[in-house]
Each structure stands twice: as C-alpha cells, then as structure tokens.
Amino acid sequence: MKLLKHELIYRGKIFDLVRDTLEHENHVFTREYVTYPGAVTIIPFDGKYIYFVRQYRHPAEKELLELPAGKLEQDESPEECAKRELQEEVGFIPGKLTLLARFYTVPGYSKEFMYLYLAEDLRKSKLSPDKDEFLQTVKLSVEETANLLKSGGIEDAKTIIGIFYLLSFRLSYRLT
C-alpha cells in the first residue's frame, strides 16, 4: 500500500477527519477516516460490584450505560489517563490498575486505539466530572451486570468488551 496524498478535511475539538489517497497494484482509491488521540476504558471493580456511568450520548440520541472512559490528553500515558478518568467520572482512585487489553474501536473509519484497564482496591475520592459531562454513577453486582448484558441492556461496544473480558477471563463467570 502506497500513500499518495494525505489531506485534512476537518479539524474539530475532539477529532479530525482526513482523506488519504492510496495506491495498491496500480489501483488508486481514497479512504476517509477519523483521527483521535486514543482512549481508555476502566472497569472499576471492588470484588463484588462494578461501577458504571449513565450518560446521554448525542449520536445515539439516548442515555447509555457505560464503563468510565476518556480521551488521552497530549503527552499523557494510558495509565495516567485511566486514573484521571476514574476519579473524574466515578470518584475513585485505584490501588491496583491492570492493563487487560488493547484494541482498535472501529478500524473501518477511525484510528482510535483503546486501552482497557481493571481498577481494583478502590479508594473513594472527590468526584470531579468535566463541565460538559452529566453523569450518573451506577453500581451493579456481577450477576446484575451479566443479566443486563444478556438482555441487551448494555449497548456500548467498549463496555460490552470490558464486561465480557472481566466475566470470562478474570472471574470465570458462566453466562447461562
């Protein structure tokens, strides 16, 4: 694959849109995609309960139940971002933070790369959400979470991935 041209179509507050012109075996074509600095998702787990946020997502036109997550800031490591977002969104500081997985969220049209962390040994901290975030913290048991997942009550992909990862690989929980 040979890149012939790279052009910025739109520069936004959160993401940019670019168009690349590519060549492969004498065939020239374009791809448009979103660039984004990367993000983290955190599974706050106290051994019995998982902490979520419920928030309005405008593109979905409704509130979604999600694991806490957020965008990497410039020069911020994924671990630092996970700690910051955990405190901002659910008011916890993790005693233990473990990287569980890394993945592209939607590689068909975005370069977003996400880091999934498990946060344990949670210590209560000051809740300090961003000014444009309107979040409600939701605390669910493992069983309640599994039932909600099975019933389709969780529609956010990063949250589905995180919960499946926790239930399957960390807790050996059987979804029946």
Q: What is the CA radius of gyration of the chain?
A: 18
pTM: 0.89
d(CA 120, CA 69): 16
Mean pLDDT of 107-129: 90
Structure tokens at 83: 């700690």
Q: Is residue 135 very low, low, confident or very high in pLDDT (cuts 50, 70, 90)?
A: confident
CATH for 39-170 (3.50.50.60, 3.90.79.10, 3.40.1280.10, 1.10.10.60): 3.90.79.10
Q: How remote is the C-alpha of 1 from its chain's centroid?
A: 30
The strand pairing partners of 18, in sequence order, are: 8, 33
Write the pLDDT tens digit of every residue in 1-20. Answer: 999 999 999 999 888 999 99
Partners of residue 57 on adjacent β-strands: 62
Edge-to-edge strand order for the sheet containing 113-124?
Answer: 69-71, 39-44, 113-124, 92-104
Q: Tens digits of per-residue pLDDT, 80-113?
A: 999 999 999 999 999 999 999 999 999 998 999 9
Distance CA 44, CA 139 (A): 10
Contacts of 101 (CB under 8 A, 6+ apart): 115, 116, 161, 165
Query: CB neighbours of 105 closer than 8 A, spacing ≥ 6?
Result: 39, 112, 113, 114, 157, 158
Helix axes 157-165, 142-150, angle to 10 degrees: 130
